[in-house]
Amino acid sequence: MADITLKKVEVVIVGFGWTGAIMAKELTEAGMEVLALERGEYRDTYPDGAYPKTLDELTYIQRSKLFQDMSKSSFTFRHAASGVAVPYRQIGAFKPGTGVGGAGLHWSGQHWRVLPEELQLKTHYEKRYGKKFIPEGMTIQDFGVSYEELEPHFDFVEKVFGTSGVAYRVKGEVVGAGNFFEPSRSDHYALPPQKVPYTAHLFHKAAAEVGLHPFVAPSSNASGPYTNPYGCQMGPCNFCGYCSGFACYNYSKASPQVNIMPALRQVSNFELRPNCNVLRINLDGSGKKATGVTYVNAEGKTVEQPADLVIASTFAYNNAHLFLVSGVGKPYDPVSGEGVVGRNIAYQTMSTVQMFFDPDKNTNPFIGSGGNGVAVDDYNGDNFDHGPVGFVGGSPAWCNPAGVKPIAGIPVPNGTPAWGAGWKKAVKDNYANTVSFDVHGANMVYRDCYVDLDPTYTDQFGQKLLRFTFDWKDNDIKMSRYVTDKMLAVAKAMNPKSIHVSVKNFGDHLDLRNYQTTHWAGGTAMGTDPKTSVLNRYLQSWDVHNVFAVGSSVFPVGIGYNPTGLAAALTYWSARAIREQYLKDPRPLVAA
C-alpha cells in the first residue's frame, strides 16, 4: 500500500532528460495536464553550470558529479549466461546521468541523424546480400518507420537544438560541402557549421588526400547566437573544452535546460517533480491498462500517482527495467527465443588512432567543443560493399577536438614509463603535439545479448537490479578492425613520427573499467511484430496501450552514430501519433 495517493493527472512522464522534455512540451501544447517525475535532483544551467566552478574536471569527471550514484542503484554484468553477474560499482565504461536533464545535460553535443538503411537493417541486408549473409544468432530487425517519415522530425529537432552544420543536398539539390553520403534534407541546419580546430583541419586535409569524403560534423554547440522555435535562446560556443560531462555555463550546448525548460516554465499545465524515484507502472486487474505509477519521494514516502497515460522516458536500458518490474510485456527468454522485454541490447564499438608529432607541432588540444570536428562516412552503414568483407554494420570516423583535460587527457607514445621523470618528459613533449581520431562503430544485436532482472542483487528500494548479459562478437570486432585499418591511411597521410592504435582483438571481452561510450540501446525495441518487439511503430506498448516508451531503448538494432538525434526525432514521431490519433480515440494504434 502506498503512503500517499494523489489526484489523477492526464499524463505522467517517467524520467526528464531530452526525450521526457520533448514529450512534455508536445503534450502540454495539446492541452494535457502533464507531470514529469525525475529520480535525481533539480539541475539547471545556474547553479550547476556556473562559471568558473563548472570548469572542474576533478569534481565533474573524476568524482562523477552529474552521473548516477552507483552506491544507491546500479546494474549487474556478465559476459555470458553461464557466468556470474557482478554489480557495476563505479562509473567506468559508460556514464549514465541522473537529475533533471539526465544525460542531456552532460552530453557532448554530437548531433547525428541516422542512415536510411539502418532503420530497415534486416530488409536492406537480405535484399542486397541475401538472408545467409546475416550471421547465425544475430537478431537484427527493422524499426518499422522509414527515414522519409522521420525526416521532418529530424529537421525540427535540429531547429530546437540549434544545431550547427553544413548540408550537402537540400530538396534534391547539392548546396554545400556537407556529408556526401547523407540523404537529401528538407532544409539547412539551424546554424552555420562550427569553426574547425587545427587538429580537425589536419584530419580533413589528410582524409581528402587519400580519397575519402570529409565534412564538418554537425554539432549542437551553437556556432552563433540563436533563438529556437520555442523562443529559447543560445549563445555562441567559445571552445572552452568543457562539454562532455559538464553543464555548459555559456548556454551554448543544447540541453533540456537551455532549449525546452524555459518554454515549459511558462505554462500552467506542466509540473516537474525531482527526487521522485518511480518504482513501477501500475496496472489494472486485467494487466492491459496502466492506472499510473508508484514512486518514492524525497522524504522516503511511497506515493501512488494515478494517470491516464504513462510515458517511460528513462535512460537507455532503464526503460526495460521499468517494464520488467511492472509486468508490462513478456520478459525475453534467450533459450526459447520467446518474449521481448530485454531483447536486442546493443552498445557501440570504439577504436582510437593517436598520432604523435615533433615538439613544435603545437596542436592546442585544450581548445575544443563537444560536438565539433570533421568526420568521414565512407565506411559507415552500407556506404561500402560488405559482400567481400563478410560482416554486418559499419563505422563513421571523426576527429573531434573536444578539449583535452589535464587529468584524464594525457596521451603518451608507446614505451613511455608509467611514472617518474621519463613519464613527465613524455607528457611535456607530447601534450601539445598530438592528433587523435575515433572509429565509432555499430554494435549488432544477438540472441544471447540481453537484459533481465538479477536474482541476487537489489537496489536501495529492494527492487531487483537490471542484469546485463553482453559481450563483443566476432562480427563487430571484424568490422571495427577493418574500418580502423582503412583509416590508418589518413593517419599516415599526416606524416606523424609515430602512430598508436587502440582496437579490439578477437576474443576480447567487454571491459567495464575504462570509458568508451555511454550509447546503449535496446531492451524495449520498436517494430512491426509483437513477437520480436515491445513497442509498435508509434512507440506504444503492444500489451498496455496507454503506455509509451521513448529514448534509445526503443532502437531494435545498434547504429553507427551517437543516438541522441534519432531518439529525439522518434520522440516527436511518437508525440504526433499521440496528439493526432491516440487522444482522439485511446486504443492500440496498430493491430497486433
Active site residues: 519
Q: How far apart are the first and last CA of the chain?
A: 34
Helices first, then strands: H and E counts in the chain: 14, 22
Instruction: Pick the closest to residue 436 from 404, 399, 473, 472 (CA basis).
Output: 399
Could you tell me the three cell numbers for 503? 582496437
Three cell numbers, residue 440: 565509432
Contact between 74 and 94 under an 8 Å Cβ cutoff? The reply is no
- Asked whether the beta carbons of 470 and 345 are under 8 A apart, the reply is yes
Residues ≥6 apart with Cβ < 8 Å to 85:
76, 77, 78, 454, 456, 457, 467, 468, 469
The closest alpha carbon to 375, from 437, 443, 442, belongs to: 437
Distance CA 121, CA 142 (A): 6
Q: Give the count of beta carbons closer than 10 Å to the beta carbon of residue 304.
A: 16
Whole-angstrom distance, CA of residue 502 vs CA of residue 419: 21
Report residue 338: phi and psi, to 5°.
-95, 165
CA separation for the pair 554, 32 (Å, rounded): 24
Angle at the Cα of 538 from the Cα atoms of 150 and 310, rounded to 5 degrees: 125
**Strand ranges for 365-447 from DSSP E:** 374-376, 397-399, 434-442
Q: What is the 3-state secondary structure (H, E, C) of 464-482?
A: EEEEEECCCCHHHHHHHHH
